Chain A
Amino acid sequence: MAPYIGTATSRVDGLAKVTGTAKYAAEYNAPGLAHASMVGATIAKGRITRIDTTAALRVDGVITVLTHENRPPLADNDQAYNDDVAPEGTPFRPLYDGRIIFNGQPIALVVANTLEAARFAASLVRADYLTEPHVTDIHTKRDRGLAVKDPITPLDALFAPPKQRGAPGPALDGADVRHDGEYYVPIEHHNPMEPFASTAVVESDGRLTIYDKTQGVQNVQRYLCSVLGLKQDDVRVISTFVGGAFGVGLRPQFQAVLAALAARALGRSVRVVLTRQQMYVLGYRPAMIQRIVVGANANGTLNAITHDAVTVTSQHENYYRQETGWSGLLYSCANAKYAHRLAKLDLPTACDMRGPSAATGVYALECAMDELAAALKIDPVELRLRCYSDRDQHDNRPYSSKALRECYHQGAEAFGWHTRNPEPRAMRDGSELVGWGMASGVWDAFQAAITVRIRLSANGHAEVACATSDIGTGTATVMTQVAADMLGLPLDSVSVLLGDSTLPASPVEGGSWIAASVSNGIAATADAIRKELLRLAALMPDSSLSGTEADDVGLVDGMLVSRRDNARAVSIADAMRHSAVDQIEREITTNPIEDAARAHNTHSAVFAEVKVDEQLGVIRVTRVVSAIAAGRIVNTKTATSQILGGVVWGIGMALHEETAIDHRFGRVMNANFAEYHVPVHADVHNIKVIFVDEADDSNPLGIKGVGEIGIVGVAAAIANAVHHATGKRVRDLPITLDKLLGKPS
């Protein structure tokens, strides 16, 4: 039987998704289910002086209106609201009191017998406020930011800027060529297609089952228990299918609290679905002002980089990631310095969004490298090769693997880069200017502790269980493939249970760490099953495997087979039946292998072609080649989709996406798909994904994860292509036609 790992296996949940039977959080029903509609604050900061729900309560079918004045009890300490991935600070408490800390903050929940009644009645809730001055513009606070502290804990060290190395000041002064640029990325919103929703079902014994949209059912489960003061057994959180999340489902969101509160208050099942508009008060990618200074020698080697960043967070929590650190990591450069400050604004807290920190930080770095290449008159790929580093520059460690050089070569080859005319505005297609740009990408290869349970039945079926989510990444499919290979079963003899807080422990699904974590977890658990099978086989009289070493026996096609002599084999079913065992169950926690002596990263080289209508400024991204080095690719089909998705996100970041805030009100102005632009079919043309071979032994299966790396570098490659096409450098994303047709920046 050929292995499934490494093949283009179709999704195991594909049938459910194309027939409409896949159920998402708002699609579970329960007897007597009530519908709830949230009301948001209309000021950015202050407090509610009076809230009037009388008109809403008069509407036929309205059951109750919950506000901070009549809600059931909620925890009164910050600790209770701290979820697994909360940043430092004071977490927001939904419906806790009359204090308003961001516009759109939930102030009431109208619960009714029908959706129509709930929505109509929600429009009748009135609040009076005492307002306080607010600030929501990063630019007004750019010089008054809170400096990110030096790291104290190892976790801080992941997020705080790395330590300075060398003497960047004198090195920059001595550089032959120096580039100094400021780059801007606005606030962006994740906008998963599925609205945030929670269906809180009151079970007959009074316990709650919450069907929630989340990237971490156990994170939500623990959070709800502590916030509502419930026992662990009283709440179960289920999230079998998730209609996209991209980071905004990492932390528990307020609709889950609202649904649970209402269900507890009424003793009745309640569903809360946020509107698209209301989803703009969940998390967002923080706007980022970055200044990069790079100094190089005339031969194209770097001698210094400084990277200063200002990013947005809320007044109540300090969210940040290591946005600046990528600059000093990626290229060989003896001198580097970083600074990161936080613009604390009267907004919800920012959060992780696809490729958090790298999508933005590497955007600036890779545009700066392009500008440097132009100044040095060196081909952009050649410049990267001259600066190539085989060691992690922060800690001077080798990489567990780094096939970025092959990414450059294979990507350039597939794109036809060698025919590029280096002069801007030199390439045309009819009336359109043609530009070719490229960029590098980098992300971390993480692995986290995870627990997997496998039950193997004598009839040859295996059930694999883990609480991880599958947010569309293909986790269920990857789990099935790995289990099938490890247990020697066909795919359809493996079923996967996930997205349920009662299953074995998993971290939240994010950061590209689940594929490596859960796959190696399955391998370890399957290995324990294999050993038990071998023990049972040895009990059989005249077993052809007696005397074989455990490590010499594999599971293939329903048999235990000696790897040295495949004539020595025993059927799994026979081995189990001989000992009257119907089922073997193992549950094992797998920890990542400690390997601090090496750096663990994924890399990419992205090549983009744009065509620009010179008169109108319309930009089309006509071709992208993304060459990825990310260790072993478990499923080339779903992994390709991950990278395609990342490239599409990069197109959006480069050309479309921007959350616009009316700073007078501190309110998002374009909280809808008509005005917050995301790429649509017509924006996406030819995208080619290449997976470069990269053997890695950081974990037994050599997996690194591909969820984030696809977006990193894409916006820079497009911005660089736009410069190559037009001779104009727009450093302020998104590159809209007004900026392109305006004065060069």
Chain B
Amino acid sequence: MISSDDSDPPAPASGGSAGSVSLAVMVNGTRYPLTLDPRCTLLDVLREQLDLTGTKKGCDHGQCGACTILVDGRRVLACLTLAVMKDGANITTIEGLAKDGVLHPLQQAFIEHDAFQCGYCTPGQICSAVGLIAEGRAQTADEIRESMSGNICRCGAYPNIVAAIQQAMGLP
């Protein structure tokens, strides 16, 4: 039987790019003027153009949380965010959490509680936890679990991640 890829052919490839857009973002306190292909996700811009590879790509579909960063203090999935949507935004990534060589309390707690194994989900977990604490809603271990469930850890470090977050929140 002869078969062919049956999907509709995509729009003609007029160069493949829809031009470029200029914008500026503030990342970890540094201002970056950018000229971008509008298709660029914030995740790819951070990783490929600004060389901030601490933010991870696990699925590129908003399903794993590895790319979690803080945009204007709120946790956001960088893979689901087009960079052009964030002109003027204030972005914090894992590279920006330690101040003057002093680790953020969550970073310290993650080390102490061994809240990771391979470390690949870790930047997303930590940024997500920073956002969670700022939201101020989760108070119990179960609420932390619920509110962190967008951040998958395939190594299964969950119990230690929750313990680390509790420590950083000052919960017993």
Contacts and interface: CB of A to CB of B under 8 A. Distances in A.
Nearest to A10: B111
A130 B61 CA distance: 33
Given A121-B13, A124-B10, A681-B151, A644 B5 contact: no
A60 B16 contact: yes
A679 B111 contact: no
B95 A195 contact: no
B65 to A, nearest CB: 9
Given A275-B60, A681-B162, A193 B10 contact: no
Interface residues of A, number: 84
Contacts of A121: 13, 16
A292 B58 CA distance: 39
Interface string A122-148: 011011111100000000000000000
B53 A60 contact: no
A641 interface: yes
Contacts of B121: 193
B81 interface: no
Interface residues of B, number: 70
Given A29-B51, A130-B1, A193-B58, A679 B119 contact: no
A244 B117 contact: yes
Nearest to B127: A20
Contacts of B154: 190-193, 244, 246, 678
Given A59-B16, A243-B118, A194 B37 contact: no
A116 B44 contact: yes
A681 B161 contact: yes
Nearest to A471: B118
A26 B159 CA distance: 28
A13 interface: yes
A42 B5 contact: yes
Interface stretch (A326-334, A584-592, A645-653): A645-653
Contacts of A637: 114
B107 A18 contact: yes
Contacts of B56: 24, 193-194, 243
Contact of A19 (B3, B40, B54, B148): B54
B98 interface: yes
A471 B54 CA distance: 18
A62 B59 CA distance: 24
B64 A673 contact: yes
B166 interface: no
A244 B120 contact: yes
Given A18-B123, A19-B94, A127-B5, 4 more contacts: A10-B112, A55-B9, A117-B17, A644-B160
28 contacts: A10-B111, A10-B112, A10-B114, A14-B110, A17-B122, A19-B94, A19-B97, A20-B54, A20-B55, A21-B95, A22-B119, A49-B2, A62-B16, A124-B10, A127-B4, A131-B1, A192-B118, A192-B120, A194-B120, A242-B118, A244-B154, A244-B155, A273-B57, A644-B157, A644-B158, A648-B158, A680-B149, A681-B149
Interface of A: 10-11, 13-24, 26-27, 29, 35, 42-43, 46, 49, 55-56, 58-62, 114-117, 120-121, 123-124, 126-131, 190-195, 241-244, 246, 273, 275-276, 471-474, 637-638, 640-642, 644-649, 672-674, 678-682, 684-687
Interface of B: 1-5, 9-10, 12-13, 15-17, 37, 39-40, 44, 47-48, 51-61, 63-64, 66, 93-95, 97-98, 103, 107, 110-112, 114, 116-123, 126, 144-146, 148-162
Q: Give 3 closest A-B pairs by Cβ, nearest first.
A: A20-B54, A648-B156, A472-B118
